[in-house]
Amino acid sequence: MTEITTTDNGQSLAPAVQSGAELWKFAEALSRADIIPATFRGKTANCFIALDMSNRMGVGFMEIMQNLYIVHGTPGFSAKYGIAMAQRSGLFKGGIHFDWTPSPASVTAWAILKETDQRVEFTVDMKMAHAENWDKNPKYKTMPQLMLSYRASSLLIRLYAPSALLGMQTMEELQDVHAAQTGLPQIVMDDDPIAKRNAVLNPETEPEVADEPVTTESTLGFE
């Protein structure tokens, strides 16, 4: 029998179950709800994965569903959610901070490790973005400070708090990789009703990715 354990952090988690079969049964019921994102609606397997992730991460299943995106078949959390989860993990003292340098454009994401008081950081600049072809994503031209901040924080979390996101990539990383590989400046987020509603459609290219959903706010105060 597969034991499923939960972490009680005050969140509304999936019901405590003793087997994968019971979790699947709950996933079937959840998939019939019309208030969950379209990625999960009517899809028991997707709901099962969200419930399992909810238990593993110790967060509410609706929180997982609202912040998990599918970018060309690959799941990823938004960078904002990654920052929130890293700060919620307690590994950093005082959260993640950002230092912005406008010329040449660069952002350093930094934090203080709680256990050692060591400052850790990761810097991303437009030179790196160009070398990696991330700037094929047009948001690097229209909002470079935000995009560099997302990238710097994602890499910082990946190095020093990888458990916060179960090792998954962020949505923004998946977008950048797709843009670098295909040269397409605009990317479709599969089966996402928010993206479909807000995307700027162009018949000659793919639709632009929509903004992320509202999630747990983290301090994005640029210093």
φ, ψ of residue 86 to 5 degrees: the values are -65, -40
Kindly report, residue by residue over 175-220, the tens digit of the pLDDT: 888 888 876 654 444 444 434 433 433 333 443 444 444 333 344 5
Lowest mean pLDDT among 43-47, 63-67, 182-186: 182-186
The rounded distance, in Å, linking the Cα atoms of 141 and 130 is 11
In this structure, the number of other CB atoms found within 10 A of the CB of residue 6 comes to 16
The yes-or-no verdict on residue 91 having pLDDT over 70 is yes
Kindly report, residue by residue over 95-147, the tens digit of the pLDDT: 999 999 998 999 999 999 999 999 999 999 999 999 999 988 888 999 999 99
Q: What share of the chain is helix, strand, coil (3-state, %, to 5)?
A: 45, 15, 40
Residues in Cβ contact with 127 at an 8 Å cutoff, skipping those fewer than 6 apart:
104
The rounded distance, in Å, linking the Cα atoms of 68 and 149 is 20
Dihedral angle of Cα 136, 187, 71, 214, to the nearest 10 degrees: 100
pTM assigned to the model: 0.68
